[in-house]
Structure 1
């Protein structure tokens, strides 16, 4: 059984903290997902090359959205990256996790259900890694992605190497 690859959208795939200049390789469009409460549309910046890399990783991983976009990632993000509709983690609560961990950790771990997993997110941190290392029964790789740059080559290589190490 393949390990999971949990994918956050905002930060890793949509580098929202990048300067407003055009990012090389990224296409930008304004979208208004159902959960978007602000007046102005959301600027969604995606790099089609990430779709190629993720499709290649799908040979080693089971891809799952781990984003507040939930099912809407399949509407707005997957088609732009040439990905099929993916399963997604549902977030019933957004309160801090155990031992000061990121609020997504509980549901990611529950979804993984003891299987190895990698998780790319701009908000995972040392407390999440420590909690997983101390409590999770299978190998796990948590990669914090800089939301000003998004996923880069070294991140994809790290994911490939980690999957090979299992």
Structure 2
């Protein structure tokens, strides 16, 4: 990883494996997949597009290291760092804060970051804004569609602004 570049925390289920694709229906030209039929929903173009972004990719998924063995090779990603959730606390008392939020802010350690997930809510945005010193984009993906052109455009625009002004006043 490069120390000054923003991080991109990437979830798998929803963003890369959409829940809206029917059985046997893929988003790309993914080959037949033995074992887990959900892997056929991966779009092999997502890897190329993610690698083209000026950021450091990090798996932020319950797939853990399986993301490197099962997902990465199918979409053309190298092995990526993986957020270890063993020390992550649960959400807040009334469960409005996503269980990943605190762990991602801790993992970022003050670096700018993007979190791409299908379960991000208003409480997560408010908590990150109050507890993370650097800019952060919490980008919610439609779990039925997975990453779309509009999602990649929004992420690229945010990263471009980060390069031009490393301390923008807007946060998420």
Query: TM-score with structure 2 length normalisation?
Result: 0.83
**Whose RCO is larger (CA < 8 A, sep 6+)?**
1
Contact 1:97 1:106 in 2 (8 A): no
Query: What is residue 95 of structure 1 aligned with on the other side?
Result: 90
Q: Going by fraction, where is strand more abundant, 1 or 2? A: 1
Give deviations 1:40-98, integer Å, cap 9, x for gaps: x45222101111101111xx101000000111100000000111000010111462247
Tell me how large the CA RMSD over aligned residues is. Answer: 1.8
Which structure 1 segments of 5+ residues have no match?
Answer: 32-40
Distance of 1:64 and 1:111 partners within structure 2: 10
- Give aligned pairs, total: 155
C-alpha change, 1:143 and 1:78, in structure 2 (3 Å) is same
TM-score (norm 1): 0.86
The one of 38, 46, 58 aligned to 1:43: 38
Unaligned segments of structure 2, at least 5 residues: 163-172
CA shift in 2, pair 1:98/1:115, >3 Å: farther
For 1:134 and 1:106, the matched residues in 2 are separated by 12
